[in-house]
Amino acid sequence: MRSALLLNLHDKSYLCLDIGTHSVSGVAFRISGGRIAGQSIYSFESNDTTLAIKHVVEHLESELKERFDSAFITGNFGRTKYRMTTLRKNWAKEHKIKNEDISNMADIVTKSEEDMIPLHIVPLRYDADDFQNIATPVGQSAHSMSAIFGTIFASNAGLQNMREAALSANITVNEVFDVSFLLAHTVRPKKENSLIIDLGSDATTVSLWTVRGPVFYQRLDAGQSVLTDLLATHFNLSWDMANKIKCENISTEHSEMARFTPASNNHDFTKADVNNIIMPALEDIIKDARITSSSAIDKYNPTQIYITGGGANIVGIEDIILSRFNNIPVKNLGSQAASGALASYLWNYIRPLAIKGAKRFDFVNSTLKNMLKMFKKKPKQKFIPIMPSTLAFNMKDNATYLKFQSAGITMIHVDILDGLFVDDVYGGVDDLKYIRTKSNAHLNVHLMCESPDAWIKDTIDAGADTLTISIESRGAKQAWELLKKSKVRKGIAIRADTPLSELKPYLKDADEVLVMSIIPGAIGRPFIPESIRRIESLAAVRRKHKLKFKISVDGGIVPDTAKLCWRAGADFLVAGSYLKNAVDFPLAVNELLQK
């Protein structure tokens, strides 16, 4: 049954929060004149739920320049339960069925579970005398009516805890929604039989939805925190450190390099060690989800699986679910799909009323014209020669990709550091695969590795579009020969203290020369002024010999240094700290483009 959104729906702003166990994500949007006039997305990780809510709300308020004192909520409410209820009503004489007859039946459902609150009561079937299996019996005359309701309940205690956390952050709760309900009503086609798997921190929830509504819903009390607990116990780590290492290293895909790649700078165990411990537990969670839902799957034959929750960020999770669920197609919605689905669900009900409330005909007319434009061919995306550096951003956060999209980013600079060529360890093949699943942007990969030849095949297979090796690495010559035989763009990087003459054997075949304008290995280091002369020299060589390579620059890029690089002959700029710290990301990108 539809929620009663008893609000002034015109020219108003709305806040939608997904409150999880260890993070909060939010979407805020503003309505003006019957359309969405502004929106913002943000997430924050913390075990302190109130703190996380405050951070998210403050950020969204700053972005939209609005003040929020209430929100629509979804997320982890603790214990949940689903039940189908069949009810029947008889009348002594023929009765014309009214809305209140159905409401009275629904009221019976709300009182039928101790310590549980019904979040969603969905009518699955109505029968009235000769009118069987009808969409609604309202208006029909009959002596009896039966109805089947599917109801999702949540723990009263869990809901109260969530409300108290929100209230502590000075936010009152307007309405509460189940994650699966939201996804079922916003993501999947209405006539599709779909399985929704929420890989949450405290639990894994599996539900099956048909055209009528939920026909199966089960919460399993094993979630992604189980994997963290295993790491913490095995390696004697704090829970927070174990969770960080899990998120940075977990992958369902086996890689030879994982046996030699440290899981972190401060520990001597490898990525492979981490996955050897947690993957069996993850397999068990997926296996239990399959066994629990097997009867419903056999009966209703879902044609699509949707996954969300923290576990959706696991590299290769789609393949393991595909295998366990007999090759039913899998679509990964990402870990933060819930807040977006809540905003979409809310807007679907607000929109008709908001448009109706827009009094000016010319504005409504222009809105309709804009809707028609959606069916026209979209213009080709403008090329942006600014590459955000993955060293500066959380590439497991969906908000990062939305931020890139907001500025029209078409290239992403992906750094992979093996801890040998430079001191730090960062990135890897699994991380590159994950980024590839999240973005269609050109992935410009820089292998800051001592033996780049060992990385080339796996990196290309993972989705690199440009592959750059460092000329100073021990395996540079062997790697270059391999690159020349590949189909990706070939790049050669040179440090600020390496003579440009070292590039001579590479320039003829190079597609790109990357000038390192800082000492490589970390973000935030100062720009080396001598880099400008090096860019000018490379540009002169390119003109003189009519070579094809592009010049990119990485390190210390801010508006002032960007202008110097452009004037010297640079074609692409890699930016990290400046873009990371920007309050207005699109504006920051535009500032770097100024020549």
- Residue 391 and residue 415 in contact, taking contact as beta carbons nearer than 8 Å: yes
pLDDT at residue 537 tops 90: yes
Say whether 214 sits in a helix, a strand or coil: strand
Q: Does 192 have pLDDT greater than 90?
A: yes
Give the number of C-alpha atoms closer than 13 A to the C-alpha of residue 499, restricted to the C-beta side: 4
CB burial of 388-413 (b: ≥16 within 10 Å; e: otherwise) equals: bbbbbbebbbbbbbbbbeebebbbbb
C-beta of residue 74 within 8 angstroms of C-beta of residue 120: no
Residue 253 pLDDT greater than 80, yes or no: no
Segment 558-581 shows an average pLDDT of: 93
Collect all residues with Cβ–Cβ distance below 8 Å to 439 and sequence separation of at least 6.
Answer: 401, 404, 412
Per-residue model confidence (pLDDT) at position 51: 92
Banded pLDDT at 4 (limits 50, 70, 90): very low
Question: What is the mean predicted confidence (pLDDT) over 52-71?
Answer: 91
Pick 36 or 233 by higher pLDDT. Answer: 233
Handedness of CA 226, 116, 179, 319 (dihedral sign): positive
Confidence class for position 524, pLDDT limits 50, 70, 90: low
587 DSSP 8-state letter: H
- Residue 22 phi, psi (nearest 5): -125, 5
| pLDDT (0 to 100) of residue 512 | 95
E strand intervals along 76-231: 80-96, 116-128, 131-134, 141-155, 172-176, 194-199, 204-209, 214-220
pLDDT score of 461 more than 50: yes
Which residues 6+ apart lie within 8 Å of 29 measured at CB?
Answer: 13, 14, 36, 38, 39, 40, 64, 343, 347
Question: What is the predicted pLDDT for the residue at 375?
Answer: 44
What is the DSSP track for 291-329?
HHHHHHHHHH--SEEEEESGGGGSBTHHHHHHHHTTT--
Residues 442, 465 contacting (CB under 8 angstroms): yes
CA–CA dist 529, 531 (Å, integer)? 5
Token digits for 199?
């890989």
Euclidean distance between CA atoms 248 and 119, whole angstroms: 35
Burial class (CB in 10 A: 0-12, 13-18, 19+), 341: buried
Task: Write the pLDDT tens digit of every residue in 464-503.
Answer: 999 999 999 988 999 999 999 998 999 999 999 899 999 9
The pLDDT value given to residue 377: 46
Cα angle 430, 436, 437 (rounded to 5 degrees) comes to 95
Closest CA to 447 of 417, 424, 419, 427: 417
pLDDT at 355 (0 to 100): 47
Give the Cα separation of 559 and 505 in Å (integer). 33
Question: In the prediction, which pLDDT does 480 show?
Answer: 94
Rounded to the nearest integer, the mean pLDDT of the chain is: 86
Of 321, 47, 72, 77, nearest to 199 by C-alpha is 321
Residue 465: partners with Cβ closer than 8 Å, 6 or more residues away: 442, 443, 444, 445, 488, 489
Structure confidence at residue 273 (pLDDT): 93
pLDDT at 140 over 70: yes
Stretch 256-275: mean pLDDT, rounded?
85
pLDDT at 1: 38
Residue 252: what pLDDT? 82
- For residue 449, give both structure tokens: 């590795």
pLDDT at position 381: 55
Q: Look at residues 488, 484, 550, 544 and name the one whose alpha carbon lies nearest to residue 515.
A: 550
Check residue 369 and give its pLDDT: 52
Report whether 79 contacts 48 (CB < 8 A): no
pLDDT at residue 234 greater than cutoff 60: yes
pLDDT of residue 112: 61
Angle at 427 between CA 424 and CA 429, to 5 degrees: 135
Using only C-alpha atoms, the chain has a radius of gyration, in whole angstroms, of: 28
Please report the pLDDT score of residue 206 as a whole number.
97
For residue 2, is pLDDT > 60? no
pLDDT at 382 over 80: no
Give the number of other Cβ atoms within 10 Å of residue 279's Cβ. 17
Produce one character per residue of 79-113: b if its CB has 16 or more CB atoms within 10 Å, e if not: bbebebbebebeeeeebebeeebbeebbeebeeeb
Q: What is the mean pLDDT of residues 551-557?
A: 94
**Per-residue tokens: 322:** 């595909």
- The whole-number pLDDT of residue 374 equals 46
User: What is the reported pLDDT for 9?
Assistant: 44
Least Cα distance to 556 among 536, 579, 589 occurs for 579
**Between residues 357 and 361, which one has the greater pLDDT?**
357
DSSP characters over 220-283:
ES--THHHHHHHHHHHT--HHHHHHHHHHH-BSS--GGGGTSBSSTT-S-BHHHHHHHHHHHHH
